[in-house]
Structure 1
Amino acid sequence: MPQTDVSNLSMLGQQTETARTPEEAVLEKVPNGNPGTDYVVRFTAPEFTSLCPMTGQPDFAHIVIDYIPNSFLVESKSLKLFLHSFRNHGAFHEDCSVYIAKRLIDLLEPKWLRIGAYWYPRGGIPIDVFWQSGEPPKGVWLPNQGVQGYRGRG
């Protein structure tokens, strides 16, 4: 079984502060212990929070990130803190969703990545945002993200 080198990580095993903004948040990566094998990694953040840039009121989303690693994996604590940094950040749903995906693309250079951001209603209308980096490699099992269209999101 491959060992993952974590010697260059600054947050894992440490008490860390949440960044004030997503731009200041540090995302860390670790080597992929299974290079040459195509598989899907999924992160689900059912309690994502940001602020409406117009009213300052909180916005909530259920975010699902799927990616097929290349040479690196995102370190999960750094991802959690990155997502938490949006809590006091004002941005539209679309901007938050695509920014998360692009930061991960820049960090990891994965073979493929998609994000499904299922936002709870604002003004009575839910806004769902979907983005992917292109076509996934052939033969990889891509499960459904499992979040139904808005019906109370329960």
Structure 2
Amino acid sequence: MTISEKSNESELYGERFISDAEIVCFPNPSPNRTYEISIELPEFTCQCPFSGYPDFAIIRLLYQPGEKVLELKSMKLYVNSFRNRKISHEEVANKMLDDFVAAANPSWMQLEADFNPRGNVHTVVRVSHGLKNNC
């Protein structure tokens, strides 16, 4: 199959992986230790629900795992699933946090959605779950 034939398929393999994305976790290798995991996803995109224009952001996740740890590839695919979704900055941050918490049940988690300025407005939304412990 040639590249041009593949581009005519209804759904490309990357799109299929994204549409099938589920947040996957694995057992915490050190469940008796308090520690933090910091993850940055610098290529987040979604669409403004009012204008349809693209929004770009850096998603920063900082958390103290409980019994489970988030698997990175599944996070990437999950985050990419927002690419064509019309969703507000505030809803993005809260939806992602809710989904990550539901999957991993961390002791504490903070998500920051740092959106690129558009129309001379820069938005950063921070949401958190649980109580942070000292490391």
Q: Please report how far the alpha carbon of residue 87 of structure 1 lies from its aligned counterpart in structure 2 after TM superposition.
A: 0.6
Which digits, 9 at most, give the CA deviation of each residue in 1:39-73, with x for residues without a partner?
10111011111111122111001111001000001
- Decide which structure has greater strand share: 2
Tell me the amino acid that sits aligned with residue 90 of structure 2: E
Alignment of 1:5-154 (within 5 A): 17-19=17-19, 25-137=21-133, 139-140=134-135
The answer on whether the counterparts of 2:59 and 2:113 sit within 8 Å (CA) in structure 1 is yes
Residue identity (%):
31
Q: Distance in 1 between the 2:121 and 2:75 partners?
A: 28
Extract unaligned runs of 5+ from structure 1: 1-14, 141-154
Larger Rg: 2
- Decide which structure has greater helix share: 2
4+ residue runs over 6 A deviation: none
TM-score, structure 2 length as denominator? 0.84
Counterpart residue number, 1:10 = none
Alignment size in residue pairs: 121
Which digits, 9 at most, give the CA deviation of each residue in 1:62-116, with x for residues without a partner?
1110010000011111000000101111100010011111101111110000011
Could you tell which deviates more after superposition, 58-67 or 120-129? 120-129
Tell me the amino acid that sits aligned with residue 70 of structure 2: V
